[in-house]
């Protein structure tokens, strides 16, 4: 984990509520793994007091290796509203890389990235890694993206630079498949376009991840999901980002001695810290809210 002062290199608006900020952070760029995140102090004052967690979208290449990172953010509160006023040369305090990221299945031939809107930002680094080995190992990479409408769609062009097939959907039907990305996934599996012998990596709203769970159960598809929670510290100290988890599944996938997961003796569930045990979990581990 590194704490550093980073200069803003650029800050551009992509849609009405979505922005892309580029930060000079070569150390973090060289160490970040797919699915990990950074925690950013938005201003030089204590207002806002808490840092904001962000996925790293992609690394920025310079003349001598990596020069920085790109972050995609949606304006949903006061902190991100303040971020829209950042300009080139402004300084930000960053901590990262943080968290447990994706571990892609080397024994699978078919890999599926599944996301909704800004969730796509958390999958690009993983897509790059898989894309580089597609030809060498005969892999198939599918990238399924969705948004509420065509005007809110982001990052499609960037994902189309990868060595994979991009499928798009919109909730209102203004672009691509008419419906949710999970519905498009199920149709693609039922039609045979995507093999049932695949693995899924997903990042997006919890409603999307919850809708993915029965699909994975129906077809026996393994999946890893990136969870979102409000975080106070991002390093496991404040205990504010808990996620409910299934005891049997957790014991199947990880060693409790190296985790922060706590179980109640009277219950078959427990709580994990998204900032330390995640943000990436096996989908079987998570108990989604009803």
pLDDT reported for residue 290: 59
pLDDT value of position 201: 98
Question: Residue 263 to residues 192, 234, 243, 279: CA-CA distances in angstroms?
Answer: 41, 21, 12, 19
Measured between its terminal Cα atoms, the distance across the chain in Å is 35
pLDDT attached to residue 267: 78
Pair 275, 233: CB distance under 8 Å: yes
pTM over 0.85: yes
Q: How far is CA 40 from the centre of its chain?
A: 16
Crossing angle of the two packed helices 206-219 and 181-190, in degrees rounded to 10: 20
Are 29 and 38 in contact by the 8 Å Cβ rule? The answer is no
Q: In what order do the strands lie in the sheet with 177-178?
A: 177-178, 165-170, 140-147, 110-116, 198-203, 223-226, 280-282
CA atoms within 13 A on the CB side of 45: 4
Query: What pLDDT is attached to residue 256?
Result: 79
Domains of the chain with CATH codes:
2-98 (2.40.30.10), 110-226 (3.40.50.80), 231-290 (no CATH)
Whole-number pLDDT of residue 19: 97
Q: How far apart are CA 275 and CA 279, in angstroms?
A: 6
Please give the backbone phi and psi of residue 91, each rounded to the nearest 5 degrees, phi first: -105, 140
**Who's near 246: CB < 8 A, 6+ residues apart?**
268, 269, 284, 285, 286, 287
User: What integer pLDDT is reported at residue 181 of this predicted model?
Assistant: 98
Mean pLDDT by 10 residues, the chain (290 residues): 88 96 95 96 76 94 89 92 94 94 92 96 97 94 97 97 98 97 98 97 96 97 95 86 91 83 83 94 89
CA distance 195 to 246: 28
Q: Dihedrals φ, ψ of 100, to 5°?
A: -100, 120
248's torsion region: left (phi>0), alpha (psi -120 to 50) or beta? alpha
Q: Are the beta carbons of 172 and 153 closer than 8 angstroms? A: no
């Amino acid at each position: 984990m590194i704490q550093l002062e980073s200069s803003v290199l650029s800050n551009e608006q992509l849609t009405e509520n979505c922005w892309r900020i580029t930060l000079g952070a070569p150390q973090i760029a060289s160490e970040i793994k797919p699915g990990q995140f950074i925690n950013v102090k938005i201003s030089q004052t204590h207002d806002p007091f808490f840092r904001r967690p962000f996925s790293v979208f992609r690394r920025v290449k310079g003349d001598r290796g990596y020069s920085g990172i790109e972050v995609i953010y949606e304006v949903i509160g006061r902190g991100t509203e303040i971020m829209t006023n950042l300009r080139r040369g402004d300084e930000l305090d960053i901590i990262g890389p943080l968290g447990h990221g994706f571990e892609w299945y080397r024994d699978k031939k078919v890999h599926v990235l599944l996301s909704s809107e800004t969730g796509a930002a958390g999958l690009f680094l993983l897509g790059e890694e898989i894309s580089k080995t597609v030809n060498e190992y005969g892999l198939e990479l599918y990238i399924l993206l969705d948004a509420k409408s065509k005007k809110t769609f982001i990052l499609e062009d960037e994902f189309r630079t990868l060595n994979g097939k991009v499928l798009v959907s919109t909730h209102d039907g203004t672009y691509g498949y008419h419906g949710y990305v999970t519905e498009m996934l199920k149709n693609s599996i039922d039609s045979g376009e995507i093999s049932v012998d695949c693995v899924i990596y997903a990042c997006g709203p919890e409603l999307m991840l919850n809708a993915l769970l029965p699909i994975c159960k129906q077809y026996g598809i393994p999946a890893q999901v990136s969870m979102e929670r409000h975080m106070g510290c991002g390093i496991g100290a404040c205990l504010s980002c808990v996620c409910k988890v299934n005891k049997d599944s957790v014991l199947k996938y990880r060693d409790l001695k190296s985790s922060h997961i706590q179980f109640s003796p009277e219950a078959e569930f427990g709580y994990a810290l998204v900032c330390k045990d995640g943000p990436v979990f096996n989908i079987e581990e998570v108990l989604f809210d009803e």
